[in-house]
Chain A
């Protein structure tokens, strides 16, 4: 009995010694299902980055780089995309990754009834196994967005042998870490996959993802050493983090934006001057000082946005410089439209940062003659109201996508799934559909510029700032490079003891 107790104690001691190579990341929310074909959340993608390798990855300059595919080429008038796959990749259950497995995954993502990747892969007509390590995607029409989709969840590969199992709660992928356990709202634990091809570059035995929704508490946990890194620092804490020598502040401008979505459709709530008259919307834009929001609410992290595309994107056009605040011009425009003052209701999802932002917008717009009544709402209820066109204007954001199409098409095309402005302009639809099918960057940019010229005039969405991804790590962490997609890539990252 005594021996048993001693060995048990030794076991406890040993296991806590082994936890020295844990890496713990504080997340803002708890991820949803861990099935990459059915997952929805941004934080879920942070976990997938270490768990599930993709066909291609993006680097910090938003260029595509090899991951499970070593090279790729377009042929047949951009209607065939062929991938050469690596021959040394293994799934976590020990089965090899090959063209058959890639086909099985892409077909699963395209056909499962509740797959959220179906629309992302809608242009794919069939997937063809060319040889053991070559797979070809035959498209219905040219699709410039496809590579970007395959650099995200649509390109993640699960072991086909596990399709019939509980993928959502026990995913078997081929990334540097394999799934170990999950306690909802508490932690997701991944373990090092020893047979990973670059296992030597991954320096942790275990990864622990801990959802800690309160940003003050998340930061306190980092300061007390209970986590090693956090994502999405509250901007109001930026000053104190910058001055803390135990922490490294690593903000990066993200791919998304925050903006005002104005209901401009044909519906009862879109009957006010703001909704009917583009000059009133232009006046509102002139009344808002984006740089002031950046300074006051963003503490320098809210890079002002004029366009939906992030500054790092080659599609961010120099033709549309930032519209500076000009109250006199705004007043003149309102007068021209026949109004002394315009009242409207601005809805937003209730949280500290958005309250501050919208109160500032309210105050700035008042100087130009806008009477804004603010309506904070719980997020789920707000989404339903927007979908039902039951709002006048809403302040909401978008987490952003690598491909420009993801930041614009579904928001302003007549049938776009997220078109909560209810905006519809055939010319814009035509241009954005053409841009989707144009792989050449220069040609594609021309199309986006033309579409943007119309949108900047009609303003169904007024972009306010680019969403930052403010990472903070303990200064024991080395080798981490934040990237605009907000993901945590751990290759080469080390933790000093």
Chain B
């Protein structure tokens, strides 16, 4: 399944890019429009060839491991991906951890205390988490935490391997900002899944057996409610791998989001293609991971009837 999916994705992205108005070389030339140079580069990057030939050349190069070079900076796309992928993964993992820490406990609590004050409070927080725009929250956090209190760096990225503490400090605010919206989604889904499970017969039986409420909720109910949460988590994680454009822009984090948006604006075709392909692979991998997690959580899936 994976191969045809990737093929289709790359074909669609390639096609969409060609539909975009704007000439990559004219854009690249900017204020230095020398017709002879533009024509030379057009030939060099095969932009005079028909659409399908350009695509086939690209596929051939990718199959031999060559993703091409960025039109704008001349850097190989594979180098760019190698530079940005760790950043994006780190941001995604940290944001997901925050989101799970926020979303699941509040979701459980609001399901258990349905219709009471904690439920309303959790709902209000979830609603604001979804409604507050990331870039706004990001700028406010920079103003307060970095400019006023001087607690955390305002922007940038330090590789984990270079200085782990500083790396975590720079990523703290952006991953928190990303996590607010994700955590809210997770909270809503946890709540509804838990509500469904909590009203089922076996939970009543468990309660009737005299089990402690904590055991009923965490052991019996949560495990069954986890299935939709796992689906959502893996999908959200896959989305995070595509980069978080606004958050990366505000905190100037050199991840996939900024890379691909800049590439689209400058019509840097090779970069867009390479990054989308890489993201698609990530997404497919996350789907696979979801399937494996289902089996781990739900023993009934382990032995097909």
Spell out A's residues near B (CB within 8 Å).
12, 16, 30-33, 35, 40-42, 113-116, 118-119, 166, 168-169, 183-187, 210-214, 216-217, 220-221, 223-226, 378-381, 383-385, 387, 398-399, 417-418
Contact = CB atoms under 8 A, between A and B. Distances in A.
B254 A418 contact: no
Contacts of A381: 20-22
A12 B254 contact: no
Given A220-B147, A378-B22, A184 B156 contact: no
A134 B252 CA distance: 46
B163 A224 contact: no
A438 B212 CA distance: 96
Contacts of A42: 31
B67 to A, nearest CB: 14
A216 B75 CA distance: 29
Contacts of A114: 37, 40-41, 44
B163 to A, nearest CB: 6
B40 A220 contact: no
A229 to B, nearest CB: 15
A169 to B, nearest CB: 6
Contacts, number: 136
A183 B37 contact: no
Nearest to A185: B254
30 contacts: A31-B73, A33-B72, A33-B73, A40-B29, A42-B31, A116-B32, A118-B36, A166-B74, A169-B74, A169-B75, A186-B252, A186-B253, A186-B254, A212-B252, A214-B250, A217-B250, A220-B142, A220-B147, A224-B142, A224-B154, A378-B265, A379-B265, A380-B24, A380-B27, A381-B21, A383-B22, A387-B23, A417-B34, A417-B35, A418-B33
Contacts of A12: 163
Interface of B: 20-24, 26-37, 40-41, 44, 70, 72-75, 80, 83, 139, 142-143, 146-147, 150, 153-157, 163, 249-254, 258-259, 262, 265-267
Given A114-B37, A116-B32, A383-B27, A30 B262 contact: yes
Contact of A183 (B32, B33, B83, B143): B83
Contact of A226 (B80, B153, B250): B153
A418 B40 contact: no
Nearest to B27: A380
A41 B33 contact: no
B255 to A, nearest CB: 9
A115 B249 CA distance: 32
Q: 10 smallest A-B Cβ distances: which pairs? A: A380-B22, A186-B254, A168-B74, A224-B146, A381-B21, A380-B27, A224-B154, A116-B32, A417-B33, A381-B22
B73 A168 contact: yes
A32 B72 contact: yes
B265 A220 contact: no
Given A113-B40, A118-B37, A226 B146 contact: yes
Nearest to A39: B32
Contacts of B36: 118
Contacts of B157: 186
A398 B34 contact: no
Given A33-B73, A220-B147, A380-B26, 16 more contacts: A32-B72, A35-B74, A113-B37, A114-B44, A116-B34, A184-B80, A185-B254, A214-B250, A217-B154, A217-B250, A226-B155, A378-B265, A379-B27, A380-B265, A380-B267, A381-B20
A183 B20 CA distance: 27
A16, A187, A213, A380 — most chain B CB neighbours (10 Å): A380
A469 B293 CA distance: 56
A213 B257 CA distance: 14
